[in-house]
Amino acid sequence: MTDIARAAGCSQATVSFVLNNTAGMKLSAETRQRVFETASALGYAIPEAATAPIPAEMPNRIGIIVDQIATSPEAVQAIDGLSAAIQERGGLVYVGQSRGDSDVEARLIDDFLQQGISALVYLTIFTREVTPTAALRNAPVAVYLLNCYTANQATPSAVPSEIAGGQRSTHHLITQGHRRIATITGEIWMEAAQDRLKGYRRALATADIPFEQDLVFEGDWSTSAGYEATRKILALPDRPTAVFCQNDRMAVGCYQALKEAGLSIPQDMSVVGYDDEEIARHLHPQLTTSVLPHRAMGQWAAEQILSGTEARASGMTKVECPLIIRASVAPPRP
C-alpha cells in the first residue's frame, strides 16, 4: 500500500480504503480507478473484493479534532451543537484533543479513519487562520473547519461574524443616545479583538461620531482587566456615558469598578458585553451582550455533513452574533 500510495499521489489510508472497499468513504470513481491502475502497473494483484459493489454506507460517524477543549466553554458548545444533530440521525461523534501537536493530530485522524468516519471537523478555540497539516489535507473524507479558516478558503469553514457583532453592539448604544462611548478590547493581536474593534469604529463612523483613540483601552479578556480599564475610564476629564466591553468577563470587572465608584448601571453608565456567558444573566442588572455562536457553527457543520456537501466545496461562512438586549443600557442622563 505504501508503494501504491507513493506512485498514485495519495495517502496510504486512501489506498487501504479502495483495496478493502471500505463503506462510508466518499472517494471519487477517478481516485479508485487511479489506485487500481497504479497497483496493476506495479505488479500487484487487485483483490476481488476491491471491485465488488460498494457496501451500503454505515450511519454517519464524525471525527472532531479540537486544539484545546478545556480552555473555555465554547468548544463544548460547538461539539454539542454538532453531535446533537448527528446523533438525531443515528450517527456517532468521536472527539479528540490535539493541543496543537501535529503528530497527535495525525494519530487521531488515523484512529478516526479506522472507526469509519465519513467526515472530519477541525475546531480551534481562538478564531484564526490555519495551515492544515499533511494528515488533514490528505484525509480521504470531507473536512470542515470551525472557528478557523485557510488563507485560500479552499476548505469549507465557519467563523463568527465579529465585525458585524462589534458594530451592532456599538450601534445599540448609539441608538439609545450615547455619543461618547469607550471600549475595552481583548488582547489586540487576536483576530476577535481586532474585528470587534473594527465593528466599533464602523458604528461610530456610520453615525458621524469621531473616533477617539483615548477611549480605547486594551485588556486581556479577564475580569481584572475590565476592572482596571474602567477605573481609567472614570478618571477621564470628559467621562464617557457608555462602555462596550468586548467580552462578558471584562464586563463583570467593569460592573465592580462602577459600583465601587458609587455609579448606577445603566442610569450613570451603560454597559454592553460580548459572548453571552451564563454570568451575563446573573449580573444585576442583567447584561446586554452578543452571542458567540459556537453552537450554531457546530450545527452548520452538521448540516453540511448531513446534506452530503462535498469536501471540495470551498468558502467561508460567517455566522451571526445576535445581540441579546437586557437591562444594562439606557439613555444617558440629560
Q: Return the CATH number at 41.
A: 1.10.260.40
321 near 160, Cβ under 8 Å? yes
Output the domain CATH number for residue 269: 3.40.50.2300
Q: Do 279 and 131 lie in a common domain? A: no
Q: In this structure, is residue 326 part of a structural domain?
A: no
| pLDDT interval class at 54 (50, 70, 90) | low
Using the predicted structure, report yes or no on whether residue 164 has a pLDDT greater than 90.
yes
Q: Do 143 and 166 lie in a common domain? A: no
The whole-angstrom separation of Cα 207 and Cα 259 is 30
- Residue count of the chain: 334
Q: What is the pLDDT of residue 2?
A: 80
Q: Do 156 and 169 lie in a common domain? A: no
Give the residue numbers spanning the domain of 267: 162-292
Q: In this structure, is residue 328 part of a structural domain?
A: no
Q: In this structure, is residue 325 part of a structural domain?
A: no
Instruction: Say which range, 82-86, 164-168, 239-243, has the weakest mean pLDDT.
Output: 82-86
Q: What is the pLDDT of residue 14?
A: 78
The H helix count followed by the E strand count for the chain is: 11, 12
The total domain count for the chain is 3
Closest CA to 114 of 13, 35, 18, 15: 13
Q: Do 225 and 141 lie in a common domain? A: no
Q: In this structure, is residue 329 part of a structural domain?
A: no
Q: In this structure, is residue 308 part of a structural domain?
A: yes
pTM for this one?
A: 0.79
State the SS3 of 207-246.
Answer: CCCCCCHHHEEECCCCHHHHHHHHHHHHCCCCCCCEEEEC
Q: Do 9 and 70 lie in a common domain? A: no
Torsion sign, CA atoms 298, 299, 305, 309: negative
Q: In this structure, is residue 251 part of a structural domain?
A: yes
Q: Do 143 and 251 lie in a common domain? A: no
**How many C-beta atoms lie closer than 10 Å to residue 275's C-beta?**
27
